[in-house]
Amino acid sequence: MDGEEATITSDRIAHELADAIHEHRIAPGSKLNEDEVGVIFGVSRTVARAALQSLSHQRLVDLRRNRGAFVAQPSVREAHEVFEARALLEPRTARSAAERMTDDAVLRLRRHLEDEHSALREDRLGRALHLSGLFHIEIARIAEQTTIEEIIKQLVSRSSLIIALYWRRKLAVCESHAHNALISALAQHDGELAEELMKNHLLDLLASLDLSNPVRTPGPLKEALRR
């Protein structure tokens, strides 16, 4: 990384590492060594440590005594709990979003979908998955349910780690037709249909995972941070 340490804050480092984790460039279980993070970003161990502590607060990183920091690895039990929680919250949130949908909100969702398609065309599958998660968060934002939106953000973040560990297909990225159908229902203010579509969509996503067989292995951190 270029630039003086004074211009590279722990927040910036945490943001870049979080993006790399969400886009599956850094696999669950990867060790994030303070010294290595410091060298890559050109900062002191103190700044690197603060970034890793921030990621720990976000539950993206586990800090283990005398061992260091590791990208979190959700268990099979947690995977079920996360998707059960999403199935409880997101369908009702989709219904609320349909009631509050505006033309501007429809455009924002369509831009999300276009960005997903662009990432897929460029074979940036991890990026496509990250954008898919942001699509779900945007629906919660449109619903104007601030507390629920924060919970969904956390659940989507954990889902990214779960998918990285347990995908069965090449990538458990949200199917384009599912998001297209959701946008259509939301644009028509059809809350009942939006709720049903979201419920089925999350069930399909869970079914695309093999919760018996984690498949990702850690790779070099420096290489993972190259876009």
If one counts every other C-beta atom within 10 angstroms of the C-beta of residue 222, the result is: 12
In sequence order, the 6+-apart residues with CB closer than 8 A to the CB of 194 are 94, 95, 97, 98, 182, 185, 186
* Residue of 79, 80, 60, 81 whose CA lies nearest to 70: 60
CA–CA gap between residue 6 and residue 21 (Å, rounded): 25
pLDDT at position 44: 93
pLDDT at position 224: 64
pLDDT at position 52: 96
**pTM as predicted:** 0.83
Rounded to 5 degrees, φ, ψ at 104 are -65, -40
Task: Please state the domain extents for the chain.
Answer: 5-73, 76-207
Q: Residue 189 — left, alpha, or beta (φ > 0 → left; ψ -120 to 50 → alpha)? A: left
Q: The domain 5-73: what is its CATH number? A: 1.10.10.10
In this predicted model, what pLDDT tens digit does every residue of 107-155 receive, in sequence order? Answer: 999 999 999 889 888 888 888 888 999 999 999 999 999 999 999 999 9
* pLDDT for 168 beyond 70: no
Q: Following CA atoms 61, 66, 67, 72 in sequence, which dihedral angle do they give, to the nearest 10 degrees?
A: -20
In this predicted model, what pLDDT tens digit does every residue of 65-122 receive, in sequence order? Answer: 888 899 999 999 999 999 999 999 999 999 999 999 999 999 999 999 999 889 888 8
| Sign, CA torsion 164/166/171/175 | negative
pLDDT at position 204: 87
pLDDT at position 216: 58
Q: What is the mean pLDDT of residues 27-55?
A: 93
> Which CATH superfamily is 76-207 part of?
GntR ligand-binding domain-like (1.20.120.530)
